[in-house]
């Protein structure tokens, strides 16, 4: 039986926290769990009711914690297991949900599982990773590690070479000497180990997981069907016992991930992804340059994915960015971001905002890589809270990534006092969304095609409420028919004029009406 998505996702608004850069409470220059607890009221007041926290597990931090050493221990720099359960408790008290980041695809080379797997004598962990008997002979160019242990052969790795791939088997087995099917003994034991990790945290009060590289666990799986099968099996082992837990995949292919049983899939924002065409790169749709742009290509893709997600009773997730992408503040200024946020938070999606995007934090150019960040390091700088020395992030001047001292971005404390700031705008937008069922994540959605599709216009509906949303970041004026709408403006930016059965969408304006 398919599990329906948890109710709370219909209203969920997620705030992503990169824990090492959020708030440092013990002056070691690194953010920590007590820092997150301290800022729960800030996040709630802003209008968010759910968190996704990047990995907080014990790790040597060669990939910012995506190289887990011990799934059952909290990295000491973030705090203790007690801090984590306190965070769950404090969040729940405020009606908020907390997702942790599950990294099921690999571990650190420092993980006990891997050390045991490296031993030449057969043991319980020998098949926890994918070992070949010599060099890797498959036709794919899977990266491997060799020469690191007394065990013969080589072991497959995933993202970095310090991340040996856990063994979930191969969808198409070509080399049965060292490749197993998903139902083989090695993969089945790995699955059990991961189910144990998941249920361990759900029992502690965690509300679910964002799942790292969810679509890349089973190897030689060109269409993704092996990974679908894998997740169906994983979910079948515990989801009925935890129907309120949410699972959100890093897969970027809702046609697979939602079928596999995830509640939401991210529409990721790499520069070549369709989502980025709106807010990233050279001339995104929401940038106020003088180019004639339309979002046709975006909607061709979005609308068909949306239809699919709707049928599955599941969601797409629009994001402002994440710890892997260039900050949205690099391509869009405060004013342009008001447009992008209005879009993101009124479209049918379970939306995610990356910490700092609420003040338009910039990508810090020219940083040396920190903890495997490489070019991503510039998007991971500490949160800019106030005007004090390290912008309120830490009282230690040696912060683990330098604070961006660029004065062009006003910190939280300053933007809070300005009713026209991006932060204040976002707050009123989220409050508006909360007050209108037609903007719930599961409310229906229908796009209105306009002449040459330049402005974006769509209708959302739930119960008796129907709202029309129209956005025009261009410098042209458009006239749009009201249809059956009364023309009562509920939320807007810039100028607008309603006359008889039409309204004028002025340059650089948006409007929500009923």
Judged by the rule CB under 6 A, the positions of this chain that interact with ligand GLC are 63, 66, 103, 159, 212-213, 250, 323-324
Count of Cβ atoms closer than 10 Å to residue 311 Cβ: 9
CA 141, CA 131: separation in Å to the nearest integer? 15
What the block records as the tokens of 242 is 């935890």
Q: Which does 26 bind (CB under 5 to 8 A by kind): Ca ion, ligand GLC, none?
A: Ca ion
100 three-state secondary structure:
strand
**Shortest separation between residue 218's beta carbon and ligand GLC, angstroms:** 16
Based on the number of CB atoms within 10 Å of its own CB, is 52 exposed (0-12), middle (13-18) or buried (19 or more)? buried
Give DSSP secondary structure letters for 142-192: --EEESSSSSSSEEEB-SSTT-BBB---BSS-S-TTT---TTSHHHHHHHH
Q: Which does 32 bind (CB under 5 to 8 A by kind): ligand GLC, Ca ion, none?
A: Ca ion
**Shortest separation between residue 319's beta carbon and ligand GLC, angstroms:** 12
Our CB check for ligand GLC shows the closer of 159 and 339 to be: 159
Q: Which does 323 bind (CB under 5 to 8 A by kind): ligand GLC, Ca ion, none?
A: ligand GLC
**Shortest separation between residue 37's beta carbon and Ca ion, angstroms:** 12
Give DSSP secondary structure letters for 277-340: HHHSSSS-TTS--SS----HHHHHHHHHHHHHHHHTT-EEE-BS--TTSPPGGGT--HHHHHHH
CB contact at 8 A, 383 and 401: no
- Name the site residues for Ca ion (rule: CB under 5 A): 24, 26, 28, 30, 32
Q: What pairing do the DSSP bridges indicate for beta strands 70-74 and 465-472?
A: unpaired
**Shortest separation between residue 272's beta carbon and ligand GLC, angstroms:** 15
Our CB check for Ca ion shows the closer of 261 and 382 to be: 382
Nearest to 441 by CA among 275, 273, 246, 271: 246
Count of Cβ atoms closer than 10 Å to residue 437 Cβ: 18
Our CB check for ligand GLC shows the closer of 63 and 179 to be: 63
Exposure on the CB side of residue 214, measured as CA atoms within 13 A: 30
**Shortest separation between residue 298's beta carbon and Ca ion, angstroms:** 40
Partners of 106 in beta bridges = 165
**Shortest separation between residue 79's beta carbon and ligand GLC, angstroms:** 21
**Shortest separation between residue 103's beta carbon and ligand GLC, angstroms:** 6
Q: Which does 324 bind (CB under 5 to 8 A by kind): ligand GLC, Ca ion, none?
A: ligand GLC
Q: Which does 159 bind (CB under 5 to 8 A by kind): Ca ion, ligand GLC, none?
A: ligand GLC
Our CB check for Ca ion shows the closer of 97 and 391 to be: 391
By beta carbon distance, the residue nearest ligand GLC is 66
CA 296, CA 482: separation in Å to the nearest integer? 21
Q: Which does 335 bind (CB under 5 to 8 A by kind): Ca ion, ligand GLC, none?
A: none
In the block, residue with structure tokens 């949160």 = 383
Our CB check for ligand GLC shows the closer of 75 and 480 to be: 75
Q: Which does 416 bind (CB under 5 to 8 A by kind): Ca ion, ligand GLC, none?
A: none
Our CB check for ligand GLC shows the closer of 114 and 503 to be: 114
**Shortest separation between residue 170's beta carbon and Ca ion, angstroms:** 42
What the block records as the tokens of 471 is 């956005």
Our CB check for ligand GLC shows the closer of 212 and 221 to be: 212
Our CB check for ligand GLC shows the closer of 323 and 427 to be: 323
């Amino acid at each position: 039986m398919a599990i329906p998505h948890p109710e709370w996702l219909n209203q969920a608004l997620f705030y992503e926290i990169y824990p090492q850069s959020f708030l440092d409470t013990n002056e070691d220059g690194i953010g920590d769990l007590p820092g997150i607890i301290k800022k729960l009221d800030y996040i709630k007041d802003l209008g968010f009711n759910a968190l996704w926290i990047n990995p907080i597990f014990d790790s040597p931090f060669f990939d910012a914690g995506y190289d887990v050493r011990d799934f059952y221990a909290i990295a000491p720099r973030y705090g203790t297991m007690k801090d984590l359960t306190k965070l769950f408790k404090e969040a729940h008290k405020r009606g908020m949900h907390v997702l942790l980041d599950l990294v099921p695809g690999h571990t650190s080379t420092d993980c006990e599982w891997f050390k045991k797997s490296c031993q030449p004598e057969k043991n319980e962990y020998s098949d926890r990773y994918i070992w070949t008997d010599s060099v890797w002979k498959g036709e794919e160019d899977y990266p491997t590690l060799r020469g690191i242990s007394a065990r013969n052969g080589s072991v497959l790795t995933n993202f970095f070479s310090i991340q040996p791939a856990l063994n979930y088997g191969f969808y198409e087995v070509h080399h049965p000497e060292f490749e197993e099917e998903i139902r083989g003994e090695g993969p089945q034991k790995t699955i059990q180990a991961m189910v144990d990790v998941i249920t361990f945290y759900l029992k502690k009060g965690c509300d679910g997981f964002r799942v790292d590289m969810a679509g890349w666990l089973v190897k030689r799986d060109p269409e993704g069907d092996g990974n679908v099968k894998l997740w169906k099996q994983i979910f079948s082992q515990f989801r009925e016992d935890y129907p309120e837990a949410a699972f959100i995949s890093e897969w970027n292919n809702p046609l697979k991930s939602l079928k596999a049983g995830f509640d939401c899939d991210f529409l990721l924002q790499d520069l070549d992804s369709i989502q980025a065409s709106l807010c990233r790169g050279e001339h995104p749709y929401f940038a106020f340059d003088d180019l004639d742009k339309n979002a046709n290509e975006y909607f061709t893709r979005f609308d068909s994915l949306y239809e699919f997600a709707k049928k599955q009773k599941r969601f797409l997730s629009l994001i402002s960015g994440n710890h892997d992408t260039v900050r949205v503040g690099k391509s869009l200024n405060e004013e342009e971001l008001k447009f992008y946020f209005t879009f993101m938070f009124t479209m049918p999606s379970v939306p995610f905002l990356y910490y700092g995007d609420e003040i338009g934090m910039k990508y810090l150019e020219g940083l040396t890589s920190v903890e495997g960040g490489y070019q991503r390091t510039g998007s991971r700088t500490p949160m800019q809270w106030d005007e004090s020395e390290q912008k309120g992030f830490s009282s230690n001047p040696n912060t683990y990534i330098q604070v961006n001292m660029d004065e062009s971005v006003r910190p939280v404390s300053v933007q809070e006092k300005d009713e026209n700031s991006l932060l204040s705008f976002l707050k009123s937008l989220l409050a508006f969304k909360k007050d209108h069922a037609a903007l719930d994540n599961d409310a229906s959605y229908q796009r209105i095609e306009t002449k040459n599709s330049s402005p974006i216009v769509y209708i959302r509906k739930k119960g008796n409420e129907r709202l029309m949303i129209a956005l025009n970041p261009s410098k042209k004026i458009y006239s749009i028919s009201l249809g059956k709408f009364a023309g009562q403006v509920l939320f807007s930016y810039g100028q607008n004029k309603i006359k008889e059965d039409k309204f004028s969408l002025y340059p650089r304006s948006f409007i929500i009406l009923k």
